[in-house]
Amino acid sequence: MASSHNDKESLEASRMPLVEHLRELRSRISRALIAFGIAAVAGWFLYAPVLDLMLRPYRRAVDDPEKPLYTLGLLEGFSIRLKVVAFVALLIALPVILWQFWRFIAPGLKKREKRYAIWFVISSVLLFGFGTVVAYMTAVPAFGFLLKIGGSNLEPIITGDKYLGFFMAMCIAFGVAFEFPIVLLFLVMVGALDSGRLIRGWRIAVLTVVIVAAVITPSQDPITMLAMAVPMLVFYVLVVLIAKFAMKR
């Protein structure tokens, strides 16, 4: 009986860390969702100017500043508004979401690594924002290419749901892809990579970047792929330089 009691205590003790991790995860997710909800309220009131901003690449591509998008059915306009509000809320709440993510993984890091928390959040937000800006700038030539690739005998009917879904997916894909250097620097920081390995693996890195750009870009057109792949390769070189010199210690 004593042995059984000790085994039970040992089992409960082994389960406690997992329970605490789950509680911590629930707490972090809850805070991120609260931030997202508050940002969604702001996104609801920002809907009109944001929608106008999102339509500009398409209107420039077709050279018509008043070109409308079509909706199919009475409910599509409402669903479009919800998607735009969610997209805006994600962008506004991103710093809080990333901070909660960092606070969740921080207990598993060394004291020296925890000092990089604020820089992790700031650089992640800036790189995600930079990715969305590059996507926005790439959208005009990319849309022009896609609208003309079928030939002059085809007149596409662009619906609001399809266009905005494509546009938001493109922005998110670029934003996520541009977090690439943060991941590499984190792996260097914890000792999983070093400058020597990064230099020796440059061929694999180039191939991986090209494949990732081809897979995650919504359109897979050459303009969008190059706009994503080239900055990622530049980021790779910068990480190699940082790992070799700035983080050599």
pLDDT tens digit sequence for 150-203 = 777 888 888 989 999 999 999 999 999 999 999 888 888 777 888 888 888 889
From the CB of residue 98, how many other CB atoms can be counted at a distance below 10 Å?
Answer: 21
Query: What are the angstrom distances between the C-alpha of 89 and each of 34, 123, 134, 171?
Result: 11, 19, 20, 14
Residue 68 has what pLDDT? 85
Asked whether residue 247 is assigned to any structural domain, the reply reads no
* In the predicted structure, residue 149 carries a pLDDT above the cut 60: yes
Residue 108 has what pLDDT? 66
Asked whether residue 135 is assigned to any structural domain, the reply reads yes
Asked whether residue 109 is assigned to any structural domain, the reply reads yes
Percentage helix, strand, coil for the chain under 3-state DSSP, each rounded to 5: 80, 0, 20
Asked whether residue 154 is assigned to any structural domain, the reply reads yes
Residue 144 has what pLDDT? 85
Range of the domain at 36: 2-178
Phi, psi for 227 (deg, rounded to 5)? -65, -25
Distance, CA of 61 to CA of 57 (rounded, Å) = 6
Output 242 or 85, whichever has higher pLDDT.
Answer: 85
Asked whether residue 238 is assigned to any structural domain, the reply reads no
Residue 14 has what pLDDT? 43
Residue 91 has what pLDDT? 93
* In the predicted structure, residue 81 carries a pLDDT above the cut 90: yes
The count of domains in the chain is 1
pTM of the model: 0.82
Asked whether residue 200 is assigned to any structural domain, the reply reads no
Distance, CA of 70 to CA of 176 (rounded, Å) = 29
Asked whether residue 137 is assigned to any structural domain, the reply reads yes
Percent share of the chain, pLDDT over 90? 40
Distance, CA of 173 to CA of 213 (rounded, Å) = 9
Residue 114 has what pLDDT? 67
Asked whether residue 163 is assigned to any structural domain, the reply reads yes
